[in-house]
Structure 1
Amino acid sequence: MSISTTGVLPRAETAAPKRAPRRRLPSPRRWISPVALVAAWQIASSTGALPPDKLSSPWTVLQAGADVARSGELGSAFVVSLGRVGAGFALGALAGLVLGAVAGLSRWGEALVDPPVQMLRTLPFLGLIPLFILWFGIGEETKVFLVALGVAFPLYLNVHSGIRTADPQLVEAARALGFTRAERLWHVVLPGALPPALVGLRQSLGVAWLALIVGETVNADAGIGYLINNAREFLRTDVVVVGLVVYAVLGLVTDALVRLLERRALRWRAQ
């Protein structure tokens, strides 16, 4: 007596493939508190509880934003500020990545690089503005180097930590399989360090915009910070809020871009 396998293999072969997990959209509940805050702000302004010389209403801020956008003032300030952040971020990211890799991959590198970096990291970098002005003057260099300094430290810490916390069992397994040191770094250590490095990248971008706000208060003649300072001189709180909103939106957009990069670069974690 034999057991027929007719229909078994075809059924296994035609099994439905696994569906990719659907991307969850942000919950509408996340909009409740921001909308409620804006509504409370508008009500307080309309009833006079919040004087316009202290803080303009959301509707006034919206009108002021439209005015400075039509005049071209906002667009030119946006381009200048974006250029400063881009230059500072490039310098700071390069320094943070190189120093973090040197300190993470080498014991001698950690002994030589980590102590001075940790000492500099504990300094209030805003307190370095007078020294930067003495070194670089009040031109673009001071603003760019302030951004670079704010970017370098979070990225350094996360890259260094990611390399040092690589799974030792995976490293040993790769060594047992005959991987060279370069192959172990490429296939084991660097993929393991990528998640914290991307977290450091998000932190660095947030600090970059904060540093730019401070840098653009140092005798700037262009940029969003100059727009805010100029509005403050004329008690235009509506334009001040417009500049702050632009800073916030730029920070959110850059963070969203890094999160998109993170989802694409770390797809292997969902497997």
Structure 2
Amino acid sequence: MENRLSDKKAQGIPSYGTFTQLKSAAAIENIACAPFDFVVIDTEHQAIGTDLMASAVASAQGAGLAPLVRICEISRREVLHPLDAGAAGLIVPAVKTAEEVRQLVAYAKFAPLGNRGYQPTRDCRWGSSSSFSPVSYMEEANRKTLLIPQCETRECLEHIEEIASIDGVDGIFIGPLDLSIALGCPLQLDSPVMAHAIERILKACRDNGKMSMIFAGDAAAARKLIEQGVDSVAVGADIFLLIHAYQELYRQLTD
């Protein structure tokens, strides 16, 4: 079970990915041509059912990308289905409390960290290998499958040190847009308030040996964040990059 994000984190190398919202296997394969390290399959802001999500996970794996799934709510079903489909990790939005995160760990991690239900699924190739061991698989899944709460609420920021310290949490994903709104400086991403908040989150991650991730709108912002010490950046989204590419093409045609 490989995971390029955790492997690069262990080597001290930044990792880069992007969001996909186009509901297209071809779009995911095109992202891999870059080549990025991971793709975030966004089920929070897109109507993506279990079958489409599972197909997107398979497309990402086939293209050499680590598939992360951003789920839409904290529930056993929303956690279990992407993991059984083979997701390399989950990003969980709108987290507020440490109690919510402990419940996520219970859903997402096998014993002894949690109580994720076991069934041979796509994640372990249906248990078909002659050398397959359920116990070894569960141990490896706990190590390699990433559980990443998203810090984008005032409440999560207030409890970030406790949340980052929880066993079973593998990293924190900073959602700068919603966090700026929650902190009273809407979309002012360079404000002192946001700078302080981001540094607090990064420190909580460093102190607990957890991965730090964040969204960036463009490459310049991503480079700046890596210089600040962020481990991994999700840059843009395919739907917006497609819009910009066609706008630029049309500008070139008509200038």
Give the TM-score band, short-chain normalised: under 0.3
TM-score under structure 1 normalisation? 0.24
Structure ranking higher on relative contact order (CA contacts 8 Å, 6+ apart)? 1
Q: Which has the higher strand share?
A: 2
Question: TM-score by structure 2 length?
Answer: 0.26
Structure with max Cα Rg: 1
